[in-house]
Amino acid sequence: MKLLAKNATGRGTGPARVTAWQVARRAKVSQSAVSRAFAGGAGVSSETRDRILAVATELGYQPNALARGLITQRSGIAGVVISDFGNPFLSAAVERLSKRLGRIGLQPLLIAVDTEDDVRAALSTLEQYRVDGCFVISPHMPQKLARRYHSVGTTVLMFNPQMTGLDASFVSVDNVAAGRAVADFLLDEGHVRLGYVHGPRGAGTDRDRYAGFVSRLEERSAARPAVGWGEYSYHGGARAMKALAAQSPRPTAVFCASDIMAMGAMDVARNALDLAVPEDLSIVGFDDAPPASWPSYDLTTIRQPMDAMIEAGIEILLDAGPDRTNKPTQRILDSELVLRSSTLTPSARS
């Protein structure tokens, strides 16, 4: 049986939305029994639940997810705050995270942000939706805002700085250790004139990567790197590379705090500065974004374990439960230096 809605003229406008009351009447149960049947079956017998579901299928009934959330105290929604879909690493992370959330019955609510103010507005929106958890994939994360994140639900600051001591959960790699690993690699390869391309000013990920890089250089009595600023963008990396190449003497190796900046630096080095990579200039990135392994880049980089980070975030979300009373959880995972052809020892240059 199909129900047909009518407009003011009495003409049909298409199938009407079947209500829980109509299912209850046909199944000869209360409306609350219908709600309980779709909320997991608590309080109704298996026989009654089967009858309700059969009637719902016959009538084409779909439960109201928002109304069901009032009963279960779960919205079935996970917030995902993302700052830069143009970054191939972040966009790949969002794609994999969204699919993973779907497999555990959560619908991702994506909110794109550009600034700290955008993040604040996104959190306000997610609070209104009473999300079951929130994943933030953005460098624009003020610490004051992080302190109150746990009140929204489980919040995982993926690919973000380690905010130990704050009332917030996060999943991150050890950015300081990764920076130190790059310094050791370049020094061991014989480079003495180094450059570093920063991300946005104030970004915790960049701060920690640079701190690890510089501290290791100092420990090994190497000169501090020449620096440029790239805003974690392709064009920013290109601009920073031009500035570094103008210095005398110019660096023989540059560590970029993200792959997308390294790609911009590599392209401008080759196409605008007439520098051969790696013969004239070695370039190291950070992330191991999908294009990093493409033959046109073949970028030496720090690999962030994307799938492991997503799984750790999902685990934190599920462990927290709907009451949101669990203490924040922090997970710091290991990264890996992946060697490709964008780097070359000075001794190997002709």
Class of domain 175-304+337-348: alpha beta
Q: What does residue 169 show for φ and ψ, rounded to 5 degrees? A: -95, 150
Q: Which of 238-247, 250-259, 329-338 has the lowest mean pLDDT?
A: 329-338
Q: Which residues contact 161 (CB under 8 A, 6 or more apart)?
A: 141, 170, 172, 175, 203, 204, 205, 207, 208
- Is the pLDDT score of 310 beyond 60? yes
Residue intervals of the chain classified under CATH 3.40.50.2300 are 77-174+305-335, 175-304+337-348
Q: Which of 6-10, 177-181, 274-278 has the lowest mean pLDDT?
A: 6-10
Domain 4-72 has CATH 1.10.260.40: yes
Residue intervals of the chain classified under CATH 1.10.260.40 are 4-72
DSSP state of 151: G
Each residue's pLDDT tens digit, 128-167: 777 877 888 876 666 666 655 555 445 566 666 666 555 5
Average pLDDT over residues 330-343: 94
| pLDDT of 210 | 97
Question: Which CATH fold topology does 77-174+305-335 show?
Answer: Rossmann fold (3.40.50)
| pLDDT of 8 | 45
Q: What angle do CA 334, 336, 337 make, to 5 degrees?
A: 150
Tokens of 138: 């953005």
State the CB neighbour count (10 A cutoff) for residue 107: 14
| pLDDT of 223 | 96
DSSP state of 170: E
Buried (b) or exposed (e) across 149-166, using 16+ Cβ within 10 A?
bbebbbbbbbbbbbbeeb
Distance CA 263, CA 271 (A): 12
Model confidence band, residue 236 (pLDDT cutoffs 50, 70, 90):
very high
Model confidence band, residue 285 (pLDDT cutoffs 50, 70, 90):
very high
Tell me what the pLDDT averaged over the chain comes to.
82
| pLDDT of 36 | 74
The pTM score is 0.76
Q: Which of 150-154, 193-197, 209-213, 237-241 has the lowest mean pLDDT?
A: 150-154
Each residue's pLDDT tens digit, 105-127: 888 888 888 877 887 788 778 77
- Is the pLDDT score of 220 beyond 60? yes
